[in-house]
A and B are shown apart, each in its own frame.
Chain A
Amino acid sequence: MAELEVLNVEAQQSLAKLGEADIVVGIPSYNNARTIGHVVQAVSAGLAKHFHERRAVIVNSDGGSKDGTQQVVLEAPLETENLLLLRHPLHPVQRITTPYVGLPGKGSAVRAIFRAAQRLKAKACAIVDSDLRSITPDWIDLLVRPVLLHDFDYVCPFYRRHRYDGTITNSIVYPLTRALYGTRVRQPIGGEFGLSARLVERLLSKNVWETDVARFGIDIWMTTTALAERFRVCQVFLGAKIHDPKDPGADLTAMLVQVVGSLFGLMEDYDKVWKETHGSVPTPMFGFRYTVGLEPVRVNPERMMEAFRSGVRDLSPVYESFLPRDLVAALQQLAQAPPDKFILEDSIWVAAIYDFAAAFHRRTIDRKHLLQSLTPLYLGWVASYVVRTQADSDDDAETKIEQLALVYEQLKTRVAERW
Chain B
Amino acid sequence: MDNLWDRIIAEPLARLWEQTLNYLPTLFEAALVLLVGVLLALIVKEVVWRGLRLLRFDRLADRLGAAPVLDRVGLYRGSSYAAGQLAEGFVLLVTMLLVLNALGPAGSELVMRFFLYLPNLLIAAVILVVGGVAAGFFGRGALIAAVNARLESARLLAGAVRAFIWLLTIIVVLEQVGIGRTTVMITFGVLFGGLVTAVAVAFGLAGKELAREALTSLLKKREREEEEEGVHHL
Contact = CB atoms under 8 A, between A and B. Distances in A.
Chain A binding site: helix, strand, loop or mixed by DSSP? helix
B229 A166 contact: no
A382 B231 contact: yes
The dominant DSSP class at the B interface is helix
Contacts of B147: 310-311, 314-315, 375-376
B166 to A, nearest CB: 17
B17 to A, nearest CB: 64
B60 to A, nearest CB: 11
A297 B228 CA distance: 10
A314 to B, nearest CB: 5
A364 B68 contact: yes
Interface residues of B, number: 28
Contacts of A310: 147, 150, 154
B63 interface: yes
B229 A300 contact: yes
Contact of B233 (A255, A314, A365): A255
23 contacts: A164-B231, A165-B231, A167-B232, A248-B226, A252-B233, A297-B230, A297-B232, A299-B230, A299-B231, A303-B228, A307-B150, A311-B147, A314-B147, A314-B154, A314-B155, A363-B64, A364-B68, A365-B140, A369-B141, A372-B145, A373-B144, A375-B147, A376-B147
A321 interface: yes
B213 interface: no
Interface in B59-74: 62-65, 67-68
Interface in A153-185: 162, 164-169
A304 interface: yes
B143 A315 contact: yes
B232 A372 contact: no
Contacts of A166: 232-234
B225 interface: yes
B150 A364 contact: no
B137 interface: yes
Contacts of A162: 232
A47 B65 CA distance: 54
**Central interface residue in A297, A299, A314, A365, by most chain B CB within 10 Å:** A314
Contacts of B137: 366
B234 A259 contact: yes
A298 interface: yes
Given A167-B233, A299-B230, A303-B225, A318 B62 contact: no
A318 B143 contact: yes
Contact of B229 (A253, A299, A369): A299
A252 B144 CA distance: 13
A216 interface: yes
Interface string B196-234: 000000000000000000000000000101101111111
A362 interface: yes
B3 interface: no
B230 A298 contact: yes
B148 interface: yes
A168 B230 contact: no
B144 A372 contact: yes
Counting contact residues on chain A (CB < 8 A from B), the size range is 35 or more
B63 A362 contact: yes
Interface in A326-358: none
Interface in A204-252: 216, 246, 248, 252
A189 interface: yes
A414 B68 CA distance: 21
Contacts of A300: 225, 228-230
Nearest to A310: B147
B65 A365 contact: yes
B158 to A, nearest CB: 8
Contacts of B233: 166-168, 252, 255-256
Given A166-B234, A311-B147, A303 B154 contact: no
B93 to A, nearest CB: 32
Contacts of A376: 147-148
Contacts of A303: 225, 228-229
B144 A165 contact: no
Contacts of A189: 234
Interface in A263-311: 297-300, 303-304, 306-307, 310-311
Contacts of B144: 315, 318, 369, 372-373
A253 B150 CA distance: 12
Contacts of A297: 230-232
Contact of B230 (A164, A253, A321, A363): A164
Nearest to B67: A364
